[in-house]
Amino acid sequence: MSQPNKSSLTEERIFKPSKDFSKKARIKSMAQYKRMHKESIEKPGVFWAKEAKELAWQKKWTKALDWKAPYAKWFVGGKLNVCESCVDQHLTNGRANKAAIIWEGEPGENRTLTYRQLHREVCNFSNVLLAKGIKPKDRVMIYMPMTPEAVIAMLACARIGAVHSVIFGGFSAESIVDRLEDCQAKAIITSDGGYRRGGVVPLKKNVDDALKKYKAVETVIVHQRIGKEGAPVKMKRGRDVWWHEEAAQVSSKHEAKAFDSEHPLFILYTSGSTGKPKGILHTCGGYLTGTYATCKYIFDMQDDDVYWCTADVGWITGHSYITYGPLANGVTQVMYEGAPNFPDFGRFWDLVEKYGVTIFYTAPTAIRAFIKAGDHFPESRDLSSLRLLGTVGEPINPEAWMWYHRKIGGERCPIVDTWWQTETGAIMISPLPGCTPTTPGTATLPFFGVDAAILDETGQEVGPNEGGKLVIRKPWPSMLRTIYGDKKRYRDTYWNDYAGIYTAGDGARRDKKGNFWITGRLDDVLNVSGHRLGTAEVESALVSHKVVAESAVVGRPHEIKGQGVVAFVTVKAGVKTSDAMAKELRNHVGHVIGAIAKPDEIYFTPALPKTRSGKIMRRLLKELVATGKVSGNITTLEDHKVIADLQAQLKK
């Protein structure tokens, strides 16, 4: 088990919430937190029933929790429409004319949708989907830029009971094919293109390329984002239709029908330690309760807040903390299409100033990039509207935390450093901003209903500052229900280490005060800029190139991205290696998976370090790229000369 470094063990800076913040916060003291957390663990049905009652149910549940490990059912017998809680209820609670989404495109155009307007758009597109024959439980793929239409498409699917599966717009056609084949989607919703760093991402073309290999999609609905001159597209008759043309032919009125609490809401693919992405399945009632409650308490959402989560809807953060949680809370949120550094690194701070953002939620990767770009960018903007900051995607190093605290928060804003996963659906470990003393680098304490612990290999809880496996010992409402179409993989991946206990796959420790420190992944999954990439996926992409015989991929600590991708490649006999070939292989990985997966470094090697049984010793490669040397037992190595050759390469 990996051990934390010495500096993190001796971190003693403690920041308590200001009295002014605590006075107005939903959770005002540690005594209140402890009382509520105790109830949530000892009486989960009672606790979560209180939270769920604040949502719009058409039929009340008969039982809060049915748990037969590893399968949970929450709010059994209850019926609701997720979209009704996110949109419809705000038409009658005084928020109808309140801004729901303030959107800014990368070129600079902007648009505001009130809750009434959002309701009309969602109802209209629900009718478009129905007119195309989409039924409850049909899978619908969404591959769009960060526009309001992406959220509208997700909500419309939820409204009619279809199961959406959103793909990050940076993924390639090959990645689309993998996901289509797994979930067997009936329709795809996409755009002609999207803007990114001044260029156009050809989304529709990528869909067309994917559909040359997967031909079972019946309908492709295309939103016109760029226009014909900027992103000319080919429309296949009988399959492809324009969003705006279809919308003009149907009503903007639609009554939300109730679905069972355990009705599937979405499938979201996440990388695994094998090559095939995992389709994480979330259902309606429990997921919405979890995202609603975490938004309410962790972001301390108030009716006058302007909230901005900088994630993409293609990731779980965009599902839980752009689409579902914030809208269920009736908050006003900012949504931005483009990159944080276009036209320069002042763009985010321009938007904070322009829209008076009060809650800002971003990734440590972005924060490190902002630090590198220079303090003059935030210092030249008015960030005084901010009252709360958050981080997501990976552990934040203390130095970046302190910069965020000083330069962005002006030393007045609490920071909620959140730990959670695609699988957990909602935040699991985080400070509560009105009561939790924070220390740079720790996600602090479990959220309500989260029975977190750190166990050793025998299942015993470890002592203070001892490393172990992070686990959750009891079910929680927003937990994944299964891996789509693969119950065995679900059980083997998450429930196999300890009977009836969820294993997160992360290493962690607790300090003497009980705070959780996340130390990183325990499996072969890389965390690049907050995005999870399976090493097996990248290796498979490399080996699919005609010159590559074998490859091994590991992560290296990266100043900006958290982890960089390092590839070791053995080429086929007779092939000469070169810098040009390394560049070609990087681009090949970008084509197969997406730009996020391109290796930062490629090392050509005649052989990989293997055991005598043929297993690649990635542990040694990780040590090599991190330290330049190898320690520990290497007696099982088949050829010790391989390590010496690699060390010589790395020194160069």
Q: What token pair was written down for 460?
A: 């015993």
484-515 pLDDT, tens digit each = 999 999 999 999 999 999 999 998 999 999 99
Q: Is 330 left (phi over 0), alpha (psi -120 to 50) or beta?
A: left
- Going by their DSSP bridges, the two strands 278-283 and 482-483 should be labelled as antiparallel
pLDDT of residue 373: 87
What is each CA distance from 157 to 48, 235, 399, in whole angstroms?
26, 23, 42
Band the pLDDT of 372: cuts 50, 70, 90: confident
Collect all residues with Cβ–Cβ distance below 8 Å to 597 and sequence separation of at least 6: 528, 533, 537, 538, 541, 565, 589, 590
Instruction: Give the largest Cα separation in the chain, rounded.
Output: 73
User: What's the rounded mean pLDDT across residues 97-104?
Assistant: 98
Q: What is the pLDDT of residue 182?
A: 95
| Contact call for residues 143 and 189 (beta carbons, < 8 A) | yes
Question: What pLDDT was estimated at residue 4?
Answer: 37
By residue count, the chain amounts to 652
Question: What is the arithmetic mean of pLDDT over 177-190?
Answer: 96
Distance CA 330, CA 334 (A): 13
The answer, yes or no, to whether the previous bond of 343 is cis (omega within 30 of 0) is yes
List beta partners, residue 555. Answer: 565
Query: Mean pLDDT lowest for which of 60-64, 419-423, 567-571?
Result: 567-571
Q: Which residues pair with 226 in a beta bridge?
A: none
Segment 62-78 shows an average pLDDT of 97
Retrieve residue 586's tokens.
């990087």
β-strands 525-528, 259-260: how paired? unpaired
Residue 4 has φ and ψ, to the nearest 5°, of -70, 155
| DSSP classification of residue 453 | E
Please say if the pLDDT value at position 10 is more than 50: no
- 3-state SS class at 456: coil
Contact predicate 66/76, CB 8 Å: yes
| pLDDT for the residue 188 | 98
Least confident of 31-45, 104-118, 533-547: 533-547
Q: pLDDT for 395-409, tens place per residue? A: 888 888 999 999 999
When pLDDT is averaged across residues 357-361 and rounded to a whole number, the result is 98
Task: Domains for the chain: give ranges and CATH numbers.
Answer: 6-81+266-517 (3.40.50.12780), 85-257 (3.40.50.980), 525-651 (3.30.300.30)
Q: How many CB atoms lie within 10 A of CB 234?
A: 8
pLDDT of 616 > 90? The answer is: no
Residue 286 CA to residue 45 CA, distance in Å, equals 12
Averaged pLDDT score across all residues of the chain: 92
Could you tell me whether strands 525-528 and 531-534 are parallel, antiparallel, or unpaired per DSSP bridges? antiparallel
Report pLDDT for 633: 59
What does DSSP say about strands 139-143 and 99-104: parallel, antiparallel, or unpaired?
unpaired
Q: Residue 613's pLDDT band (boundaries 50, 70, 90)? A: low
Task: Catalogue the long-range contacts made by 19-28 (C-beta closer than 8 Å, 24 or more residues apart).
Answer: 21/387, 21/414, 21/433, 21/434, 22/434, 22/435, 24/302, 24/434, 25/300, 25/432, 25/433, 25/434, 25/435, 26/296, 26/297, 26/300, 26/434, 27/297, 27/300, 27/432, 27/434, 27/435, 28/434, 28/435
| Residue whose C-alpha is closest to residue 212's, from 164, 177, 166 | 177
Neighbours of 496 (CB within 10 A): 12
* Cross-strand pairs, 570: 550
Residue whose tokens read 């591959």:
143
**At residue 9, what are phi and psi to the nearest 5 degrees?**
-70, -25
Residue 235: alpha-carbon gap to chain centroid: 32
Coil/strand/helix, residue 585: helix
Pull the structure tokens for residue 95: 């928020």
Residue 405: enclosing H or E segment and its boundaries? none
CA distances from 544 to 64, 214, 540, 553, 571 (A): 49, 19, 6, 14, 12
Calculated CA dihedral for residues 221, 226, 228, 233, nearest 10 degrees: -50
Angle at 476 between CA 514 and CA 442, to 5 degrees: 30
Q: Which residues pair with 260 in a beta bridge?
A: 79
pLDDT of residue 632: 64
Position 92 confidence tier, pLDDT thresholds 50, 70, 90: very high
What distance lies between CA 559 and its chain's CA centroid?
A: 20
**What tens digit of pLDDT does each residue of 270-306 get?**
876 556 789 999 999 999 999 999 999 999 999 999 9
- For residue 623, what pLDDT band results from cuts at 50, 70 and 90? confident
